[in-house]
Structure 1
């Protein structure tokens, strides 16, 4: 039950974050959070970019998976029934096109980033500087309160 509650909270928070935050703002925020690690030569900007791209493409991958599953089912592939090897082959028939599609999207993104002059490791400037507002502090307080409650539940249970 405790793990289910934690999982639900993580899903809800991540969904709210990705639904209400622009990708650029998310990248800048993650980069700001990772900025202290630059002292240890950790590439904060590259990690922030990686996380924001991953978060951006998760819904696309889910949609693509559903599309491929429907196409495979229309061809008579059943992923839930049959012997173990039949199910493994059915899942492979899903994974291969999904992997090819993901690689194609990654290549398209890399080409677009290169065309816009993105070079990892180079000194970057910011068009937009993030500033903490009242609602940010309220959200931080809510997140901290949730963290304390979860720790308290972990200790009690």
Structure 2
């Protein structure tokens, strides 16, 4: 578990690392919007999502992000994926039209497996996008980028800096909590607690893990708060920055590339919806010729 790099900055000197954090945050928002665009045909959804996933994998390779860590992060969501599979497969849905097989009186549909696979593909793309951002951006740069992005709300006294700092600390605490979980699991395993055999035993072991992990998280939070207070941190004070962020040529090139990708996906989405509307209108005219 300690090998997971989700939320952990990787200090490499790649092209993605050199992109301005404000640009990367903007790119992440555009990619999230593109990920959640729903097309009419299954094949279109799978092709568009597959191409976007390939693009994200290429960016991860350029960023030198470990695919082993990505796989471990995906496997850590096994309970959520299993829960979604049960929800989609076993709960009847009137929109399902392609039966696969029957289990007694229960009909299992191909549609259910498609919906589950599509949701899983979206989760993987979201995970990849978030890993790219957190692995290539320093926590303080991420905070400054988020604060800059919400700066237009400051005239109405919106706490932009406080929210940006909270998000940055939360992302930074993910690997810290994972390391602490690994440490507690090793300590409890040395005392005879079994985390590997039997579902019931594993659930009991995880329950015994939650309380010390919760206490440790509170202690770490208190230590961080004391350290920030000792250094005179004041969220309401006017702040300057040692490293001033500047947009560079690499930001312009990456901006044009991401805009081209997002614009292509959005154009296909608009065309898909317009074709659907045209088909509905044509159907109405065929049913009601005198309309």
The answer to whether TM tops 0.5 is: yes
Gaps spanning 5+ residues in structure 1: where? none
More helix by share: 1
Question: Structure 1 segments of 4 or more deviating over 6 A?
Answer: none
Q: TM-score, normalised by structure 2?
A: 0.46
Question: Counterpart of 2:215?
Answer: 100
Alignment partners' CA distance in 1, 2:169 and 2:264: 30
Higher RCO (CA < 8 A, seq sep 6+)? 2
Alignment partners' CA distance in 2, 1:40 and 1:149: 35
Alignment partners' CA distance in 2, 1:20 and 1:52: 14
Q: How does 1:64-75 map to 2 (within 5 A)?
A: 64-75=180-191
Please provide the CA RMSD for this pair: 2.7
49, 53, 58: which is aligned to 2:169? 53
Confirm or deny that 1:25 pairs with 2:25.
no
> Closer, same or farther in 2 for the Cα pair 1:25/1:94, shift >3 Å?
same
Alignment partners' CA distance in 1, 2:193 and 2:267: 45
243, 252, 274: which is aligned to 1:128? 243
> Closer, same or farther in 2 for the Cα pair 1:121/1:93, shift >3 Å?
same
Shift, 1:114, TM fit: 1.0
Q: TM-score, normalised by structure 1?
A: 0.80
Shift, 1:120, TM fit: 2.0
Gaps spanning 5+ residues in structure 2: where? 1-116, 274-291
Q: Deviations over 1:117-157 (max 9, x none)?
A: 1012222222322111122233344444258638957x78x
How many residues matched?
153
Question: Counterpart of 1:42?
Answer: 158
